[in-house]
Structure 1
Amino acid sequence: MDHRQLGFLVALARERHFGRAATACNVTQPTLSARLKQLEEELGCALIIRGHRFEGFTPEGEHVLSHARRILASLDELNAELDPKSPPSGSLRLGLIPSALGAVSRWIVPLREQYPALSLRLMERATLPLMQSLMEGDIDVAVGYLDVPAAEPFVARRLYIERYALLAREDRFTLPDRPVWADIGAFPLCLLTPDMQQRHRVDIHARREGVTLAPVLETESMASLERLVEQGAGVGIVEQHKPAAGYPPGLIHRLLPATEEDPPVGLLWRAGAPPSRRLRALLEWLREP
C-alpha cells in the first residue's frame, strides 16, 4: 500500500466516476482501476461496489476511505511543516452548516489574498453529520452551532449569534417593513429540510407563535434555497449574516426579531492535538480586526 493508492481512492470518492478520477490523478483509467484492485487484494477485502460503472463503496471501503483522507491530510501537513518559513499551503477542509454559507463566503477572497498558496474545500453538512466528519478527521475545521451537545467534545471559538430574516422577490411578494415571527405563516415558504438545525429553530419560533408551517419547497442547501427564492418560488427564511447588499437586485430582505434562543455559531476543531499550520492561519486571520 502506498499514498498514491490512497489518493486514487479519495479521488474516486470525490469524482464518483472512474474516468474522471483517473483524469484528476493524471493517470489512465486502467492504471487507476488496477491500482485500486491491488489495494483491495493487499487489504483482503472489497472496497468498491462495481457494476457497469462506479456504484459506491462497501462498508469496509468507507472505513478505509476515512483513514485515507486523514493519512493524506497528515502527509500534506508534514510537507508543509518541513518548511516553517513558507506560507501556509495545500488544502484546508472546512465543513459548515448550510446557514453559515453567507458568513463563510465573505472570508474566501480576503483569506486567499492573505494566503494565496492555501486552497479551501467547503462541504455543507447538517449538524450531526458535520460533527461526525470532524470527529473522524474528514474535515479539519467546522463552522457550526456551539450550543448543541454534539459540539461539546471540540475546541470552540464563537464567531457570531445567528439571526434570521425573510428573503423574497420584490415583484412577487410584499414583506412587512418590520416582520414578526407570527407573520411567517402568511407566506409560501422555502425552508431548509427538517433535519437541519436552522429549520428546527425556525419551527420552534413558529410553534411559539401558534403558526403551523407548510413550506412549498424544502432543500438541504442554503445556496439552493436562495436560488429558489431568486426564481420567485416563495419566501425564504435565511440566516442574517450576509448584508442586504449581498443579494441580487430585485430581492427584498427583512430582519426578524432577535430572541434569547438565537444560537451562537463558531469554529470547531478537534481537541488533543496542536492545530495544523493551515488551521492556525485561519484562526489568526479571523482574530485580526
Structure 2
Amino acid sequence: MLFRQLEYLVALSRERHFARAAQACHVSQPALSEAVRKLEDELGVPLVQRGRRYEGLTPEGERIVVWAQRLLADRDALKSEVGALRTGLSGRLRIGSVPTASGAVAQLTAPFCLAHPLVNVEVAADLRSEDVLRQLRDFELDAGVTYLHKGLAENFRAVPLYEERYVLLTGAADAPAHRTAATWAEAARLPLCLLTGSMQGRQVLDEVFAEAGVRPSPRVETDSVAALFAHVRTGGWTSIVPHTWLHVFGVPHGMRAVPMTEPARAVPMGLVTVVREPEPVLARALREVAGRTDVAAVLDRLPGDSVPR
C-alpha cells in the first residue's frame, strides 16, 4: 500500500468525480483509476461503486477513507515534527474561519508568522461553522476560528479568544445624532441587509430577535460581512455586524455604528483544533500563540470617536 493510493482515494471521496480527482492529484484519470483498483485488490474489498460514471464509495470505501485521512494527516504531522527538529517549524498551516470571525484571524496569523517565518499560512475565511468542524475532523484544516457552543464535541480542543458583540450599522443620515444604542425591536423594523439564514452568525441574530419578541424580514441576504458594509454604504440599508469588523473597517465615512441592546448579547469565539496524540506541531504552535495573544483587548481598541466601546 502506498500513500499515493490513499491520496487518490481521499481525493475521489472529496471531488466525487474521477476526472476532477485526477486533476486535483495532478495525474491522469487512468492512472488514478488503476491505483484505486490496485488498492481494492490489496485490501480485498470493493471501495468504489462503479457504473457508467462515479456513483460513490461502497460502505467499505467510506470506512477506508476515514483511515486514509488519518494516515495521511499523521504522515504530514510526522514530516512537520521532523522538519521542526531539524531546521525549525516549516510547512503549511491551514486555518478555517466563519465569516464573522475572519477579521480576527489576522490577530493570530501575524504573531504566528513572526515566530515561525518558514511556515506558510492558508486561510479559508468564508466557511460555515459546521464546515469548519467537519474539515477539522477530515484533516482538511489544522485549526479553525468559530463559535464556542456548549455542544462542541469532546474530540475538539478550544482556546477562547474573544466575545462577539453586535452593532447596528446605518447611514449617518438614517441614525439620529443623539442615538447611543439601538434595540433589537427597533432594528427589526428597519430595511435590513443580513447574513444568509444558513450561517450560524445569522442564526445567532435570529435567536436574539426571537428573545426580543420580533422577527426580522431582511430584503437582502449575503454570505459576506464585507458585503453588508457595501450595502449600507449605498444608502437605504441597515445591517447588524460583529463589533470585530469595526476593527477592520472602522466606521466608514457616512456611516454610524451603535451597540445593540435589549437584550445585549456576547457570543464566545475561539480557536478550535482536533484532539490528537501526539498533537501536530503546527496546530500546537498556533494554539500556543493564541494562548499568549490577548485578541479580545486588540479587537476592543476600535478606531474613531464614534465607534462603540
User: TM-score higher than 0.5 here?
Assistant: yes
Aligned residue among 248, 273, 289 for 2:277: 273
Read off the aligned partner of 1:184 and give its amino acid letter.
A
- What does the per-residue CA deviation read over 1:207-251, in whole Å, with 9 as the maximum and x for residues that have no partner? 2333221223445x3x3x533652559543322212355379668
Q: 1:215 to 1:39 in 2, by over 3 A?
A: farther
CA separation in 2, counterparts of 1:234 and 1:56? 45
* Partner residue, 2:64: 64
Q: Does 1:263 align with 2:267?
A: yes
- Cα 1:24–1:155 change in 2 (3 A) is closer
Task: Identify which of 248, 254, 274 aligns with 2:257.
Answer: 254
Code of the aligned partner of 2:269: V
1:105 deviation in Å? 4.5
Give the C-alpha shift of residue 61 in structure 1: 4.2
Asked if the contact 1:165/1:254 (under 8 Å) is kept, the reply is: yes
Q: For each residue in 1:170-225, what CA deviation from the matched residue of structure 2 results, as whole angstroms up to 9, or x when unmatched?
A: 59x83455441223213333333445433232123212333221223445x3x3x5
Q: Is the 8 A contact 2:169 2:238 kept in 1?
A: yes
- Is the contact made by 1:240 and 1:255 (CA closer than 8 Å) also made in structure 2? no
Q: Which amino acid aligns with 1:86?
A: T
**2:159 aligns to what?**
157
**Greater CA drift, 275-284 or 39-48:** 39-48
- TM-score under structure 1 length normalisation: 0.76
Return the alpha-carbon distance in structure 1 between the equivalents of residues 205 and 131 of structure 2: 20
Are 1:283 and 2:280 an aligned pair? no
Q: Percent identity?
A: 35
Confirm or deny: 8 A CA contact 1:188 1:216 kept in the other structure.
yes
Residues 49, 58 of structure 1: 8 Å contact kept? no
Tell me by how many angstroms 1:26 deviates: 3.2
- For 1:8, the aligned partner's letter is Y
Q: 1:108 to 1:50 in 2, by over 3 A?
A: farther
Aligned mates of 2:11, 2:253 — CA distance in 1: 40
Question: How far off is 1:254 after superposition?
Answer: 1.6
Number of residue pairs aligned between Structure 1 and Structure 2? 283
CA distance in 2, matches of 1:62, 1:255: 50
Q: Which 5+ residue runs of structure 1 have no aligned equivalent?
A: none
Show structure 2 runs of 5+ residues with no match: 295-309
Deviations 1:87-144 (A, max 9, x none): 3223334343332222124544554454333333537554455445545655433322
User: 2:98 touches 2:146 (CA, 8 Å); kept in 1?
Assistant: yes
Q: Within 5 Å, which residues of 2 pair with 1:107-126? A: 107-108=108-109, 111-112=112-113, 114-120=116-122, 122=124, 125-126=127-128
Judging changes above 3 Å, is the alpha-carbon distance between structure 1 residues 190 and 48 closer, same or farther for their aligned structure 2 residues?
farther
Partner of 1:143: 145
- Identify the residue that residue 191 of structure 1 maps to in structure 2: 194
Q: How many angstroms does 1:19 deviate by?
A: 4.1
Deviates more, 1:242-251 or 1:272-281: 242-251
Q: Alpha carbons of 1:159 and 1:246: their partners in 2 closer, same or farther (altered >3 Å)? A: same
Structure-2 residue corresponding to 1:216: 219
SS in 1 for 2:260: coil
Q: Given residue 182 of structure 1, which amino acid in structure 2 is its aligned partner?
A: A
Compute the displacement of 1:274 (Å). Answer: 4.1
Given that 2:80 and 2:282 are in contact with CA atoms closer than 8 Å, whether structure 1 keeps it comes out as no
**Larger Rg computed on CA atoms:** 2
Instruction: State the secondary structure of the residue aligned to 2:5.
Output: helix
Match of 2:203 in 1: 200
Over residues 15-67 of structure 1, what are the superposed CA-to-partner deviations in whole Å (9 max), with x where a residue is unaligned? 56544543443322321232233334444224367655x56555554443333
Matched, 1:86 2:64: no
Q: Distance in 2 between matches of 1:167 and 1:57?
A: 47
In 1, the alpha carbon distance for the partners of 2:254 and 2:19 equals 41
- How far apart, in 1, do the equivalents of 2:21 and 2:41 lie? 20
> In 1, Cα distance between the equivalents of 2:68 and 2:281?
20
Q: What SS does the corresponding residue of 2:174 show, helix, strand or coil?
A: coil
Per the normalisation by structure 2, the TM-score is 0.72
Change (3 A) 1:134 1:250: same
Matched, 1:28 2:28: yes
1:81–1:29 Cα change, 3 Å: same
CA contact (8 A) 1:97 1:126 kept: yes
Structure-2 residue corresponding to 1:174: 174
Q: Which residue of 1 aligns with 2:46?
A: 45
